[in-house]
Amino acid sequence: MRRVGLTGGIGSGKSTVSAMLADLGAHVIDADAIAREVVAPGTEGLAALVEAFGPDILAADASLNRAALADKVFADEAARERLNAITHPRIAARTADLLRNIPDDAVFVHDVPLLVEVGLQDAYDMVLVVDAPDEVRVQRLLERGLDEPDARARIAAQATREQRLAVADVVLDNSGSLDDLKKQVERAWTTIVGDE
């Protein structure tokens, strides 16, 4: 199985690329979706979080109130470690379950927003980075409904473009049109499948 790590800062177009790769035949595992799944309402993961951080991390509908949890772990290293000790093994187990269903001759794309921040780059045969200038990313996030201070704060909280580009095997430059992006994705796909 060829293992491809896909990342890009918020608003870079990573989700768009992920969908394009799935269309081309990649088996995509979305790390963010799994992170949400393991603490979804009714899960044992969410129960473990409530046990550790108290029932006030729950919203009225018994789902996780992410902002409330973020407040508790913000600026508290030990709390963050407790949070990771609950979520990370569950995410890893669920990812391993899904990986078992991917055929050996397939291309596995792991869509990981924080791949660089977490330091996962060595886990893949190839790392694809979706790149766009910060101003373009801000503009796209505004169009997606974020306000500007929020968009800039989210970008600032992540790795820099330079940090991401430093681990990239292939850079997809998404400063142009979607059509231009698609051509680059198709080229990258040819490289991946040709790279037996």
How crowded is residue 22: how many other Cβ atoms within 10 Å of its Cβ? 14
Give me the least distance between CB of 148 and ligand ADP, in Å please: 15
Give me the least distance between CB of 34 and ligand ADP, in Å please: 16
Torsion sign over Cα 25, 31, 33, 38? positive
Rounded CA-CA distance 75/51 in Å is 20
Tell me how many residues contact ligand ADP (CB under 6 A): 14
Counting contacts by CB under 6 A, is residue 15 touching ligand ADP? yes
| Of the residues 39, 174, 184, 192, which one makes contact with ligand ADP according to CB under 6 A | 174
Counting contacts by CB under 6 A, is residue 5 touching ligand ADP? no
189, 170, 176, 174: which is closest to 9 by C-alpha?
174
Nearer to ligand ADP (CB atom), residue 107 or residue 138: 138
Please, are residues 14 and 8 in contact by the beta-carbon 8 Å criterion? yes
Q: Which residues make up the interface to ligand ADP (CB under 6 A)? A: 8, 10-16, 140, 144, 174, 177-178, 181
